[in-house]
Chain A
């Protein structure tokens, strides 16, 4: 479904992403795990075609992200690290605006609107001004805009960042609801988040993938270690990098 081949990204001559390759199958929930500044957000921005890769190739459902960007963008729902919300807009108007830009047919907009607002639990704030909402609700509105066109792929950058435990639980349940329905890529540095939602983990450090494995397999091969210990172990071992391939 998503094929990333030898992708690099440089800013002002500094290589942020260093020859990354991986493949994601349909329906997988994949977690990008890494410290701050590891390159998770840059990688996601490349996948969403917000940023072009310096070298390498990315295809989504067989379509090249560089040459067929519009077609790829129709398939992807994206929640950036900061929810992309217009503070002066009313929630419902914002979601209609998002639906229109994402090519949802006019006749389908009322149904899609009702569906995503119910899924995200934001029906009762539909007529509120976005700027007046709590952080948790803003995040839910951000997720609602990402799924308004019922995309096959969902890319969520730090979806629970800055939320309180109750809000984290709500957003997590929301993401779990996508399991089996959509291909989900989420980035986080919160390990419990990955443990609870992802099936596969990509550990990223300094723009390189240090490990790419199914979560169950990763836990099984590191006897008795939890994900945090595994993560720290792999990151520390990075002085002698050996990529652990998915089995």
Chain B
């Protein structure tokens, strides 16, 4: 258990040892801030609904950039050989790396708490709807991180890892538009697998077991597959 935090701390620190983390943080938060003030100014509504939808959309593009190095870089530099020959289980390695990325993503997401505080000071928002929305987008982002960690474990090429993540995330996010062209069970299936369906419920203030199970099971499946990928050394 302790090793999970040791690996996570090392991962988190590694983000801040390169300029990419600062660039991502500054650019992303600046864009979020800009949209937040424009949306509040235009809509005059005490809600975070629109800014959370924008955050959700932007995470599709940002998260693969944050996770692409997680395993791919280790394989590229050969440090994976050090990592997996220490007395550390593959599960601990995967969880530690996932937690490191998750913490960085949470840092990025934490800006939404400030938006809530600002709205709370100047208006009377529906507190639970906002908190449900933040929790939903966070959970969705954690799933994106898990997908990024998985695709990073498939290759030693960081760009390829990011592209694979994009393909999966685009399918999960934009698949909802296909429901107009297909009907019946296919549409039901697409609606269930689309991440947008579940995130929308959270943003609307609805916390359903189905949505929570969707995200948690997707995270679990991705991490299990990552562990198998690391174990099988298929990327050799």
**Interface of A toward B, CB cutoff 8 Å:** 11, 45, 48-51, 70-71, 73-74, 76, 78, 80-89, 97-98, 100-103, 145
Q: Considering the complex, which residues of chain B in the window 161-208 have a beta carbon less than 8 Å from any beta carbon of chain A?
A: none
20 residue pairs of the A-B complex, CB under 8 angstroms, read A50-B85, A70-B87, A73-B85, A73-B87, A78-B81, A81-B78, A83-B78, A84-B77, A84-B78, A84-B80, A84-B82, A86-B14, A86-B77, A86-B79, A88-B14, A88-B18, A98-B82, A101-B88, A102-B87, A103-B87
Q: How far is the CB of B121 from chain A (nearest CB, A)?
A: 40
Q: Which of A49, A81, A86 contacts B85 (CB 8 A)?
A: A49
Q: Which of A11, A48, A82, A101 contacts B6 (CB 8 A)?
A: A101
Q: Which of B6, B17, B81, B88 contacts A80 (CB 8 A)?
A: B81
A50 and B84: CB pair below 8 A? yes
A80 and B78: CB pair below 8 A? yes
Chain B minimum-CB-distance residue to A74: B87
A103 to B82 Cα, complex, angstroms: 14
Residues of B within 8 A of A45 (CB): 81
Q: Is B89 an interface position by the 8 A CB rule? A: yes
Chain A minimum-CB-distance residue to B17: A88
B18 and A87: CB pair below 8 A? no
Chain B minimum-CB-distance residue to A90: B17
Chain B minimum-CB-distance residue to A155: B85
A84 to B74 Cα, complex, angstroms: 9
Residues of A within 8 A of B6 (CB): 97, 100-101
Quick one: given A89-B17, A97-B6, A101-B3, are A84 and B86 in contact (CB under 8 Å)?
no
A84 and B79: CB pair below 8 A? yes
B86 and A102: CB pair below 8 A? yes
B3 and A100: CB pair below 8 A? yes
Q: Is B127 an interface position by the 8 A CB rule? A: no
A101 and B87: CB pair below 8 A? yes
Quick one: given A88-B17, A100-B3, are A50 and B81 in contact (CB under 8 Å)?
yes
A76 and B14: CB pair below 8 A? no
Residues of A within 8 A of B85 (CB): 48-50, 73, 76, 78
Chain A minimum-CB-distance residue to B93: A101
Q: Is B83 an interface position by the 8 A CB rule? A: yes
A103 to B87 Cα, complex, angstroms: 7
